[in-house]
Amino acid sequence: MDMRHHLEQNLRSLRMPGILDNLNTRLAQAQASDIGYLEFLSLLLQDERSQRDNNQVRKLLRQASFGVEKTLEGFDFRFNPTAFPQSQIRDLATCAFIDMGQNIVLAGPPGIGKTHLAKALGHEACRRKRHVLYKNVYDIFTELARARTDAHYERLLGRILKSDLLILDDFALRKFDTKEVEMLYSIIDARDDTRSVILTSNRPPEDWLGVFPDPVVGGAILDRLISGAIKMIVTTAKSYRKEGSKSELDKKEEITHTSKR
Ligand code: ADP
Ligand code: MG
């Protein structure tokens, strides 16, 4: 058996596809320059490591169930700079809030970028190897109810309870019924205040109590979710749905104007 074949076999059985995929490039690089043995080995191991990291992040992103993924790279900070200051969002993107078990509340009118930001922060958390789950809050109840009979229920509940960051989108959009409140309470309780939640809502937090059938239970849930949370409560901001596409057009026109000059 020739050496190359033997090496490839070993790399396969040791599950090191990162080295296998980059072997030709690294060999060519080594032959073309005078890199030492140690550097050559180090580069190959780095290739393996980057590939494993990428795979891990891809898996975390898949498990987060973002649907349409949103990123900070795709967020135009100039659009609503007062509502969502770039420096504050960049701080949140470091995920220090997750390490501290802090929650985030993003509330304000529709279309201003709350869901985008929540997903983008979730994306950053995945990049930093945290387990994230994104759900419309009302979908949690229907999905759990639908899956109640099989192992799918346990798996879904496990992910809801154990994720480092749970994103509950569209909180307080409509009234919760008693069963939903029971479920929500047990979820919040089991997550133990040490795992972070991001809540987004089109309603201001002072209206949230009104969506609970029992104000005492509602108060207890809200207290756990909101007290100590990082709050970004927006009263006035532009809707990207209404104006975003227009501003994209403006930008394109500006570019054409500049290029004509
Ligand atoms: P909300 O959750 O506040 O109702 P979304 O986050 O769903 O609003 O935003 C509506 C649409 O506008 C989405 O497609 C989102 O990606 C886009 N959007 C909102 N704000 C921005 C922004 N600042 N930069 C880029 N896209 C944005
Ligand atoms: Mg939204």
83-112 tens-digit pLDDT: 999 999 999 999 999 999 999 999 999 999
Which of 112, 114, 236, 240 most suits a substitution to test ligand 1, by most atoms within 8 Å of the C-beta?
240
pLDDT, residue 243, reads 78
Interval between CA 189 and ligand 2 midpoint (Å): 25
Beta bridge partners of 167: 134, 198
According to the model, what pLDDT value does residue 247 have? Answer: 52
Eight-class DSSP state of 109: S
Q: Which atom of ligand 1 is nearest to the CA of 109?
A: 3
Positions of the chain with pLDDT under 50: 249-261
What pLDDT is stored for residue 1 in this prediction?
63
For position 34, what pLDDT does the model report?
86
Q: How many whole angstroms separate alpha carbon 222 and alpha carbon 228?
A: 11
pLDDT of amino acid 8: 94
Question: Pick from 135, 117, 136: which is nearest to 125 by CA?
Answer: 117
- Tell me which ligand sits closest to the C-alpha of residue 170: 2
* pLDDT number for residue 86: 97
pLDDT at 241: 84
**pLDDT for position 255:** 41
Q: For 214, phi and psi rounded to 5 degrees?
A: -115, 115
CB-based burial label for 100 (10 Å; 0-12, 13-18, 19+): exposed
What interhelical angle do 178-191 and 137-147 show, nearest 10? 100
Which residue has a Cα nearest atom 20 of ligand 1? 113
CB 123 less than 6 A from any atom of ligand 1: no
Q: Is 18 near ligand 1, meaning CB less than 6 Å away? A: no
Give the pLDDT confidence score for residue 242 in this predicted structure.
80
- d(Cα 189, Cα 55) in Å, to the nearest integer? 32
Q: Kindly report the pTM of this predicted structure.
A: 0.88
Q: If you measure from the C-alpha of residue 244 to the centroid of ligand 1, how many angstroms do you get, rounded to a whole number?
A: 8
